[in-house]
């Protein structure tokens, strides 16, 4: 049933979350309000209890410092399914492979999950903790969008909302005076993530020619008439990038006369690509073309003077890509 795949989506999200807080500093001033020290707050992955344990017991008795405060730690604490963002499970989407751009990859719609994170700020002085808190909270109102490339194979990048759920504080100062005091601020976050399944390669299969035989008569042995209909795919946009001229004047969606700078390379009964709109050239008088707009269901739009006019030729027919809504040029013959 299952096949191996690993997009590292969870790992990438955890790393991206931690990178949000890896450049926080605090400053200490003297009575004259002069800065006497600047400290970059260290950040590590792990539960808060791990760092609190180091305050009570040191693995190295010769080390005079057990732990340096302030410091921060973050941890991935939970994963829950988000029914509010549920998508159609059987729907798929296609995308080009990022390796060579020729293969087409298919994958099912992703599954929505919520990731829970905890960020702990440990400090001896309350002012140090407040400096750190004040550098974080203004960015979350209550969410902050983090862009992560979830699936490398299809270059799938998405904005992941990181939502700040709540902030709590506790003062670990109990017992005798020889005990250490630790202020702990805990920030709880939720990351709204999508998990993707395996990707598969779609075999490119473009129809190059279709022929249909029509036979009339009482029996197939002695047909009275035979008709053969042949059709070949025709490109409805320019693939080669060949620009033959430019539009001389602005045209609206109602115009059927188009003036170009130079129509010497344009023939009657041919197709042109103007900024994604396909037009058919019916007549030509000098540099003025009489055209049919929006052929093959392309969108009729306004075009400004200087817009590029590209040709659609047989060279483009050979470059038709999978998924192209191409037209068929058909002909009926009687043998």
DSSP 8-class letter at 285:
E
- pLDDT given at position 167: 93
Higher pLDDT, 312 or 52: 312
CA dihedral 181, 185, 186, 189 (to 10 degrees): -160
pLDDT at residue 66 tops 50? no
CA distance 160 to 143: 9
pLDDT at residue 332 tops 60? no
Does residue 294 sit in helix, strand or coil? coil
CA distance 247 to 308: 7
pLDDT at residue 226 tops 60? no
Q: Calculate the average pLDDT of the chain.
A: 80
- pLDDT given at position 302: 92
- pLDDT given at position 313: 86
Which string of DSSP letters, residue by residue, matches 202-219? EPP-----EEEEEEESS-
From 183, 202, 221, give the residue that closes a domain.
202
Sheet with 243-246, side-by-side order of all strands: 243-246, 308-312, 271-274, 277-285, 288-292, 257-259
Percentage of the chain surpassing pLDDT 70?
73
Q: Are residues 196 and 61 in the same domain?
A: yes
- pLDDT given at position 283: 93
In a domain, 229, yes or no: no
CA distance 228 to 332: 6
pLDDT at residue 116 tops 90? yes
Query: Across residues 296-321, what is the average pLDDT?
Result: 85
Q: Are residues 87 and 185 in the same domain?
A: yes
Count how many domains the chain has. Answer: 2
pLDDT at residue 218 tops 70? no
List the structure tokens of 222. 């002695």
Q: What CATH number does residue 101 fall under?
A: 3.30.2000.40
Query: Across residues 264-272, what is the average pLDDT?
Result: 91
Q: Are residues 172 and 35 in the same domain?
A: yes
List the structure tokens of 169. 């504080």
| Alpha carbon separation from 176 to 57, 58, 172, 173 (Å, rounded) | 16, 19, 12, 9
From 180, 202, 224, give the residue that closes a domain.
202
From 149, 176, 202, give the residue that closes a domain.
202
Specify the pTM. Answer: 0.55
Q: Which residue has the tokens 């320019």?
A: 238
Higher pLDDT, 205 or 86: 86
Task: State the residue range of the domain holding 187.
Answer: 9-202
Which string of DSSP letters, residue by residue, matches 153-189? TTTEEEEEEEEEEEEEEEEE--SSTTSPPEEEEEEEE
Q: Are residues 106 and 39 in the same domain?
A: yes
Q: Which of 124-138, 211-225, 226-240, 266-280 has the lowest mean pLDDT?
A: 211-225
CA dihedral 213, 214, 216, 220 (to 10 degrees): 30
Peptide bond into 142 cis (omega under 30): yes
Q: Are residues 193 and 74 in the same domain?
A: yes
- pLDDT given at position 20: 92
Taken in order 219, 221, 223, 227, the sign of the CA dihedral is: positive
Query: Across residues 74-86, what is the average pLDDT?
Result: 91
- pLDDT given at position 88: 74
pLDDT at residue 102 tops 70? no
Q: Are residues 198 and 264 in the same domain?
A: no
CA distance 277 to 237: 8
Tell which residue, 83, 132, 146, has the closest CA to residue 111.
83
Q: Which of 43-57, 70-84, 215-229, 247-261 has the lowest mean pLDDT?
A: 215-229
Query: Across residues 302-306, what is the average pLDDT?
Result: 91
Query: Across residues 73-82, what is the average pLDDT?
Result: 92
Sheet with 92-96, side-by-side order of all strands: 92-96, 104-108, 200-202
Percentage of the chain surpassing pLDDT 90?
38
List the structure tokens of 255. 């115009």
Q: Which residue has the tokens 């002012």?
A: 127
In a domain, 333, yes or no: no
- pLDDT given at position 53: 59
> Of the spans 29-33, 67-71, 219-223, 257-261, which averages the highest pLDDT?
257-261
Q: How confident is the model at residue 15 (pLDDT cuts 50, 70, 90)?
A: very high
pLDDT at residue 238 tops 60? yes
Asked whether 158 and 90 are in contact (CB, 8 A), the reply is: no
């Amino acid at each position: 049933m299952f096949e191996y795949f690993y997009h590292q989506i969870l790992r990438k999200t955890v790393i991206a979350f931690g990178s949000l807080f890896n450049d926080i500093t605090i400053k200490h001033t003297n009575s004259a309000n002069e800065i006497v020290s600047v400290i970059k707050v260290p950040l590590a992955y792990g539960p808060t209890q791990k760092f609190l344990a180091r305050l009570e017991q040191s693995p190295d008795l010769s080390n005079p410092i057990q732990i340096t405060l302030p410091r921060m730690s973050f941890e991935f604490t939970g994963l829950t399914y988000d029914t509010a963002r549920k998508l159609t499970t059987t729907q798929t989407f296609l995308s080009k492979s990022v390796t060579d751009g020729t293969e087409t990859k298919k994958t099912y719609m992703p599954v929505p999950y919520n990731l829970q994170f905890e960020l702990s700020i440990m400090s001896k002085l309350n002012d140090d903790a407040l400096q750190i808190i004040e550098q974080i909270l203004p960015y979350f109102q209550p969410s902050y969008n983090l862009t992560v490339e979830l699936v490398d194979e299809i270059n799938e990048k998405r904005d992941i909302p990181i939502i700040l759920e709540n902030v709590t504080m506790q003062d670990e100062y109990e017992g005798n005076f020889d005990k250490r005091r630790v202020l702990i601020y805990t920030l709880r976050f939720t990351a709204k993530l999508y998990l993707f399944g395996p990707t598969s390669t779609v075999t490119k299969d473009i129809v190059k020619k279709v022929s249909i035989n029509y036979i009339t008569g009482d029996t197939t042995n002695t047909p009275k008439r035979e008709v053969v209909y042949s059709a070949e795919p025709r490109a409805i946009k320019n693939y080669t990038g060949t620009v033959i001229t430019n539009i001389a004047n602005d045209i609206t969606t109602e115009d059927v006369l188009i003036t170009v700078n130079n129509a010497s390379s344009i023939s009657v009964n041919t197709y042109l690509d103007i900024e994604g709109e396909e037009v058919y050239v019916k007549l030509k008088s000098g540099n003025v073309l009489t055209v049919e707009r929006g052929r093959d269901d392309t969108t009729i739009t306004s075009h400004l003077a200087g817009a590029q006019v590209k040709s659609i030729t047989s060279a483009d027919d050979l470059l038709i890509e999978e998924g192209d809504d191409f037209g068929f040029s058909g002909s009926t013959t009687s043998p």
